[in-house]
């Protein structure tokens, strides 16, 4: 369907219906914008995009507060599992740090939720809006002027080329962003010498709503508590040189390897679900804004998953856009984009620095880093500040 002539009501095209794109569409509509949400995957009326699977996500309290209070996603709270304490340590060294919600005077340091459960909450809210959700979209061209952005493309089962136009375009179309490529925005890519494995683990004892971050020479191994008191999300990094060995391990051998990484002081894993393996890559676009187009979420930043900041960083993108949309000032548009880019780079430096420091090939450097954890553990004011930053505040 051809877009109608632009009205005084501000309008937006949002590309990508993952969490960042869907939340952006919802937030803009709540601010009085006319919104079209375009999704590549062809969907039936009641289906979520396939990206909303059973992978477990970590949300900071700041993200949860904003989603429930500003976007009014009140049904979200019932689907969250709180993280009340986080134990951080380094394999082969004595240093460790324990952060607790009680030290901060808060109910939780963070939360976990299944991506599907998050999607159900978001899309239940979207269905109550006048957002035009168009699926099965294969984009063909992008052009813009000083006043509008125009996309053309095909929609599944519709033979005629479609055209959509709006005042702004928000690109949340993933790490391999088509829109980023169309804008000829170059990116710096860093390939880590490690591979990531994720799965659901069953423990020999209850997790007591505790999370574990264990730094090792091959990258971090982490556990995040789930709704079942005996189940956790497991994140395990291993060397690229071990890909063939790890991917062909049987269940018991893999469980033994994970427990060896966690150490005997941690709850032991007794069983794991089907595992998934991912390359570890950092993608840093040179810029995230071009004219009336803004890159968001993984289209704007892909970083190492240590500390679980990826989705929370994307939600901060959404927060900035929604705040800007209230006045939609042109100068503020550029200021907002610059501020988001600085935030992305700050988090990327922090995550890369953590991984590099604790996986350094020299044992002395690892030992100094581990000793730093112990020092932080007793420096209460600094520890509280770091904990607050991890919570998103």
Percentage of the chain beyond pLDDT 90 is 69
Which residue in 119, 171, 124, 126 sits closest to 29, CA to CA? 126
pLDDT of residue 364: 43
* Residue 131, pLDDT score: 97
Q: What is the rounded average pLDDT of the residues 101-125?
A: 94
Which spans in 105-177 are helix H? Answer: 115-126
pLDDT of the residue at 381: 60
C-alpha 102/C-alpha 85 separation (Å) is 9
Exposed, middle or buried: residue 298 (CB in 10 Å: 0-12, 13-18, 19+)?
Answer: buried
Among 71-75, 101-105, 113-117, 264-268, name the one with the lowest average pLDDT: 264-268
Query: Would you state the pLDDT for residue 103?
Result: 86
Cβ atoms of residues 314 and 296 within 8 Å: yes
Predicted confidence (pLDDT) at residue 382 exceeds the cutoff of 60:
no
Tens-digit pLDDT profile for residues 41-98: 999 877 899 999 989 999 999 999 999 999 999 999 999 999 999 888 877 666 677 8
Which stretches does DSSP call E strand in 96-230? 96-100, 110-114, 132-135, 137-144, 149-155, 158-166, 168-171, 187-203, 210-216, 219-225
Contact predicate 31/325, CB 8 Å = yes
Confidence of residue 365 (pLDDT cuts 50, 70, 90): very low
Give the three-class secondary structure for 271: strand
Longest Cα–Cα distance in the chain: 66
For residue 373, the model assigns a pLDDT of 44
How would you class 109 by CB atoms within 10 Å of its CB: exposed for 0-12, middle for 13-18, buried for 19 or more?
A: buried
Residue 369 has pLDDT above 90, yes or no: no
Burial class (CB in 10 A: 0-12, 13-18, 19+), 128: exposed
How do beta strands 34-39 and 132-135 pair?
A: parallel
Residue 348 has what pLDDT?
85
The number of residues making up the chain comes to 393
Res. 342 pLDDT band, cuts 50 70 90:
very high
pLDDT in tens, 217-268: 888 888 999 999 999 999 998 999 999 999 999 999 999 999 998 887 678 9
- Quote the pLDDT of residue 201: 97
What is d(CA 186, CA 220) in angstroms, rounded to the nearest whole number?
29
Find which of 88-102, 132-146, 263-277 is predicted with most confidence, using mean pLDDT.
132-146
Closest by CA to 113, choosing from 369, 326, 308, is 308
Average pLDDT, stretch 116-138? Answer: 96
pLDDT, residue 254, reads: 96
**Listed range (76-90, 92-106, 171-185) with the worst mean pLDDT:** 92-106
CATH class of domain segment(s) 11-52+116-188+281-352: alpha beta
Q: Where exactly are the structural domains of the chain?
A: 11-52+116-188+281-352
Mean pLDDT over the full length of the chain: 88
Q: Over 60: is that where the pLDDT of 22 sits?
A: yes
Question: Above 80 in pLDDT, residue 372?
Answer: no
Q: Comparing C-alpha atoms, which of 252, 242, 254 is closest to residue 193?
A: 242
- When pLDDT is cut at 50, 70 and 90, the band that residue 389 belongs to is low
- Side-chain half-sphere of 51: how many Cα atoms within 13 Å? 16
Q: Are 167 and 282 a contacting pair, CB within 8 Å? A: no
Would the pLDDT of 168 be above 90? yes
> Quick one: 349 exposed, middle or buried, by C-beta within 10 A (0-12, 13-18, 19+)?
exposed
| Neighbour-count burial of 177, counting CB atoms closer than 10 A to its CB (0-12 exposed, 13-18 middle, 19+ buried) | buried
User: What are the pLDDT digits (tens) for 293-335?
Assistant: 999 999 999 887 766 678 999 999 999 999 999 999 999 999 9
Q: What is the mean pLDDT of residues 346-350?
A: 84
∠239-244-250 over CA atoms, to 5°? 105
């Amino acid at each position: 369907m051809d877009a109608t002539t632009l009205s005084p009501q501000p309008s937006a095209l949002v590309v990508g219906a993952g969490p960042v794109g869907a939340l952006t569409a919802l937030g803009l509509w709540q601010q009085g914008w006319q919104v079209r949400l375009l999704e590549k995957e062809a969907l039936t009326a009641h289906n979520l995009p396939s990206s909303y699977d059973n992978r477990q996500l970590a949300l900071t309290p700041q993200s949860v507060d904003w989603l429930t209070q500003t976007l009014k996603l009140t049904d979200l709270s019932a689907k969250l599992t709180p993280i009340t304490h986080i134990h951080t340590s380094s394999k082969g060294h004595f240093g460790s740090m324990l952060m607790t919600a009680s030290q901060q005077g808060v109910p939780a340091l963070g939360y976990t939720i299944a991506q599907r459960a998050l999607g159900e909450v978001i899309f239940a809210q979207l269905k109550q809006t006048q957002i035009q959700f168009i699926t099965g979209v294969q984009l063909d061209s992008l052009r813009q002027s000083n006043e509008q952005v125009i996309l053309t493309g095909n929609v599944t089962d519709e033979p005629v080329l479609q055209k959509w136009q709006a005042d702004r375009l928000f690109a949340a179309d993933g790490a391999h962003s088509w829109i980023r490529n169309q804008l000829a925005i170059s990116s710096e890519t860093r390939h880590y010498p490690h591979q990531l494995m994720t799965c659901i683990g069953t423990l020999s004892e209850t997790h007591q709503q505790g999370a574990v971050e264990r730094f090792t020479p091959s990258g971090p191994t982490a556990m995040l508590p789930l709704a079942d008191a005996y189940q956790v999300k497991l994140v395990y990094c291993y060397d690229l040189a071990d890909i063939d060995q790890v991917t062909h391990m049987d269940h018991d051998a893999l469980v033994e390897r994970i427990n060896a990484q966690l150490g005997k002081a941690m709850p032991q894993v007794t069983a794991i679900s089907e595992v998934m393996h991912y390359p570890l890559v950092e993608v840093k676009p040179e810029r995230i804004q071009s004219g009336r187009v803004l890159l968001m979420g993984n289209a704007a930043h892909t970083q190492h998953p240590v500390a679980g900041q990826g989705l929370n960083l994307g939600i901060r993108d959404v927060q900035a856009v929604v705040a800007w949309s209230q006045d939609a000032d042109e100068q503020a548009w550029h200021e907002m984009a610059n501020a988001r880019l600085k935030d992305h780079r700050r988090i990327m430096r922090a995550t890369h620095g953590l991984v590099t420091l604790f996986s350094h090939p020299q044992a002395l450097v690892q030992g100094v880093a581990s000793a730093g954890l112990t020092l932080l553990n007793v420096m209460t004011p600094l520890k509280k500040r770091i904990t607050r930053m991890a919570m998103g505040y």
